[in-house]
Amino acid sequence: MKHQDLYYFRTLAETRSFTQTAEAFYISQPSISIALKRLETEFGLSLINRDRSSKSVELTEAGELFFKRCIEITDLLDQTKKDMDSLGSKIVTLGFLPTIGGHFLPQIMSKLTEYLVDLNFFEEESSDAMYELVQKGEVTAAIVGSDKKIMEGSDLIQAPIAQKQLHLWVSPSHPLAGYKRINSRMLKETHFVTLAKGYTHQRIFEKWAKKHQINDSHVHYTNEIQTANSMIASGMTAGLMIDSLVRDRTDIVKLELTDAPEFYVSMLVNPKAIQSDKQRAFNDLLIETVENLF
């Protein structure tokens, strides 16, 4: 059985069209028909109904079953190729969030100069998304943020980098701007902006808001940090964020918040991910460096 025939059949089953399948692989329609015939001969079963009155391809019961198996097999083949490429790669990868990772990278990378030529940075805006990538082994090492000091139930190696308090941010014209310190009772009628679902700040904010009975209808969500900062600067809303999310903004005022929630920054490494010896050595040095620096 030819591996390529599996890809042809999968696409044929997905598109239900010989024309679209042929176009997808830049080959002729007869080539797809020949590949299909090879598969049917291999199994001794018809995989499609050959009813010329039908405008689209219809799978037989055997065809439906084989389609499911094709998805599993081709996905596995694709992943195996990626794994083999990773093992032979001379490149090392480090994931980070621009909003927080960039703050710590200069210190960390100054100790890893031997890898700089071969280093590839992988950026992701959301800590949750980056955490998933590390869990799956798609990125083997990354700087991430979390609402928990220790990430429980994980086989990942975690090296703490920083623990930061969130502050209240308002425009200079906001009624609260004159105060040096704010407590939650002063915020009952305040409108807030926070990052949307998938961001660590969203989870931290919602836990804090629930604890202090902040009105849900007063909360606005955005996927963009700059949008959140602009809404705060306009005076429309207040925000609860760590300092590194509010850089070089002279139109926003930072206020201390009593009982402020914490934001944790860590280096995560997946020791079980398939990776080259060079990547593994890089990851080991990353953990050692973070533990020594922070």
**CATH code of the domain in which 180 resides:** 3.40.190.290
Name the residue with higher pLDDT: 8 or 90.
8
Note whether 172 and 256 are same-domain residues.
yes
Domain boundary among 63, 88, 113: 88
Reported confidence tier of residue 244, pLDDT bands at 50, 70, 90: confident
Give the sign of the dihedral formed by CA 39, CA 45, CA 47, CA 49.
positive
Domain residues for 50?
3-88
CA distance 202 to 183: 20
204-222 average pLDDT score: 90
Distance in angstroms (rounded) separating the CA atoms of residues 118 and 14: 39
> Do 282 and 269 have their domain in common?
yes
With a cut of 80, say whether residue 152 has pLDDT above it: no
Cα–Cα distance for residue pair 96/109, rounded to 1 Å: 12
Residues 145 and 174 in one domain: no
154, 173: one domain: no
Q: Residue 97 is part of a domain; what is its CATH number? A: 3.40.190.10
Whether residues 65 and 16 fall in one domain: yes
Q: Name the amino acid, one letter, at 33.
A: S
Q: Which two tokens stand for residue 118?
A: 């071969």
What is the tally of structural domains in the chain? Answer: 3
- List pLDDT tens digits, range 258-281: 989 999 999 999 999 888 888 999
Q: Dihedral sign, CA of 255, 256, 262, 266?
A: positive
What is the b/e burial string over 154-166, where b = at least 16 CB atoms within 10 angstroms of the residue's CB? Answer: eebbbbebbebeb
Residue 159 has pLDDT above 90, yes or no: yes
Alpha helix positions (H), the chain: 3-15, 18-25, 29-43, 61-88, 101-109, 127-136, 200-211, 225-233, 277-293
Identify whether residues 29 and 152 lie together within a single domain: no
Residue 13, Cβ neighbours under 10 Å: how many? Answer: 20
pLDDT value at position 153?
63
Q: Is the pLDDT of residue 68 over 80?
A: yes
pLDDT of residue 102 exceeding 90: no
| Residues 241 and 270 both lie in one domain | no
Question: Do 75 and 13 reside in the same domain of the chain?
Answer: yes
Lowest mean pLDDT among 61-65, 85-89, 127-131, 179-183: 85-89
Residue 36 belongs to a domain with what CATH number? 1.10.10.10
Query: What average pLDDT does this structure show over 201-224?
Result: 90
What local confidence, expressed as pLDDT, does residue 172 receive?
Answer: 93
Q: Write the burial class of residue 99 (CB in 10 Å: 0-12 exposed, 13-18 middle, 19+ buried).
A: buried
Work out the pLDDT band at 118, boundaries 50, 70, 90: confident
The amino acid that residue 96 corresponds to is: F
On whether both 176 and 245 belong to a single domain, the answer is: yes
Q: Are residues 140 and 278 in the same domain?
A: yes
Regarding whether 127 and 15 lie in a shared domain, the answer is: no
Distance, first Cα to last Cα, the chain: 55
155 & 271 share domain? yes
Confidence of residue 89 (pLDDT cuts 50, 70, 90): low
